[in-house]
């Protein structure tokens, strides 16, 4: 269609001129000798459930580019080893004239001789082999804040790769994998767990001990507690990051029915069964279904 024709024309122009048409592409004009920010780095570490809950200090090893201390980032053995590029006279760019179907077109491109730096190095620095930067393994201390969760990351400002020509360093992003816990399941800043109760405890009520991340608490299960009931224990969850506030612990009671009973238990339960009240809405519903 009509619009399609214009798109096609656009494609042709793009493929003809690419990024070489200096006046149009802003990115290509950046001074290669100017300050440039270092690259960001990303590293992930695995921590335990408790370390995530309470915070921890960890050491991580990163390999990062740092400015070569021997040449100060110039890449040259000495100051005298830096000379102006003869091909581009130090501008870093060369102008080429091309004959195209549209006539003669001047194209400005990055100088192939000096890769746009405008300089050439006669003798390269021994330490960095002319790169101006060296790869170093560095141990960094990471303060993991209490409350961090699986999949979250923190940014360590300026701990990434060194900037070039006096530019700032990049940042280091540390992503966390948090191991699961055998007993607690994390739900945001709340914790969930399941504790067993017997039929007698559910019927009569009981005080049961429940573990938390900071020691045990006594949970009062009231008389007539139904299976699967969830109780909230305030402030026994995970600490909110950078806040003086804790999530809660939700304790679900799981009714355990014994698969075996002793003869004494059998005797008592049979006696109990004879006294059990089997009336009520659910019993009635079943009775009606038999009709
Ligand atoms: Zn060097
Ligand atoms: Zn050049």
Domains, in order of start, for the chain? 39-178 (2.60.260.20), 185-277 (2.60.260.20)
Ligand nearest to the CA of 133: 1
Ligand nearest to the CA of 93: 2
94 CA to centre of ligand 2 in angstroms: 8
258 CA to centre of ligand 2 in angstroms: 85
State residue 32's pLDDT score.
66
119 CA to centre of ligand 2 in angstroms: 6
Is beta strand 215-221 parallel, antiparallel or unpaired with respect to 206-212? antiparallel
State residue 56's pLDDT score.
96
Ligand nearest to the CA of 33: 2
Ligand nearest to the CA of 131: 1
State residue 248's pLDDT score.
98
What is the distance between the alpha carbons of residues 142 and 161, in angstroms, rounded to a whole number? 17
68 CA to centre of ligand 1 in angstroms: 5
State residue 31's pLDDT score.
67
**Burial classification of residue 82, based on how many CB atoms lie within 10 Å of its CB (0-12 exposed, 13-18 middle, 19 or more buried):** middle
Q: Give the ipTM.
A: 0.84
Ligand nearest to the CA of 126: 1
Ligand nearest to the CA of 77: 1
Ligand nearest to the CA of 116: 2
Ion ligand 2 neighbours (CB, 5 A) are: 85, 87-88, 111, 113-114
In the chain, the percentage of residues whose pLDDT exceeds 90 is 60
The answer to whether 212 touches 236, Cβ cutoff 8 Å, is yes
Which residues of the chain register pLDDT less than 70? 1-32
The answer to whether 158 touches 171, Cβ cutoff 8 Å, is yes
């Amino acid at each position: 269609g009509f619009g399609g024709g214009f798109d096609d024309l656009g494609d042709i122009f793009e493929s003809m001129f690419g990024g070489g048409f200096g006046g149009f592409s802003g990115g290509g004009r950046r001074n290669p000798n100017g300050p440039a920010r270092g690259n960001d780095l990303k590293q992930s570490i695995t921590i335990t459930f408790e370390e995530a809950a309470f915070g921890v200090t960890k050491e991580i090893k990163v390999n990062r580019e740092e400015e070569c201390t021997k040449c100060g980032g110039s890449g040259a053995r000495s100051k005298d080893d830096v000379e102006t590029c003869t091909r581009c006279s130090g501008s870093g760019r060369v102008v080429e004239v091309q004959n195209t179907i549209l006539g003669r077109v001047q194209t400005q491109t990055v100088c192939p001789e000096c890769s746009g730096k405008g300089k050439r190095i006669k003798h390269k620095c021994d330490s960095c082999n002319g790169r101006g930067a060296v790869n170093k393994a560095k141990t960094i201390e990471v303060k993991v804040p209490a409350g961090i969760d699986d999949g979250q990351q923190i940014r360590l400002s300026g701990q990434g790769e060194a900037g070039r020509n006096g530019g700032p360093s990049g940042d280091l992003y540390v992503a966390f994998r948090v191991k699961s816990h055998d007993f607690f399941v994390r739900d945001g800043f709340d914790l969930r767990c399941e504790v067993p109760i017997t039929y007698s405890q559910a019927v009569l009520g009981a005080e049961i001990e429940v573990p938390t991340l900071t020691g045990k608490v006594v949970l009062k299960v009231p008389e007539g507690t139904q299976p699967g009931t969830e109780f909230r224990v305030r402030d026994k969850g995970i600490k909110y990051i950078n806040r003086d506030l804790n999530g809660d612990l939700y304790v679900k009671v799981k009714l355990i029915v014994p698969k075996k009973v002793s003869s004494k238990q059998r005797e008592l339960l049979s006696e109990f069964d004879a006294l059990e009240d089997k009336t009520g809405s659910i019993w009635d519903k079943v009775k009606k279904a038999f009709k």
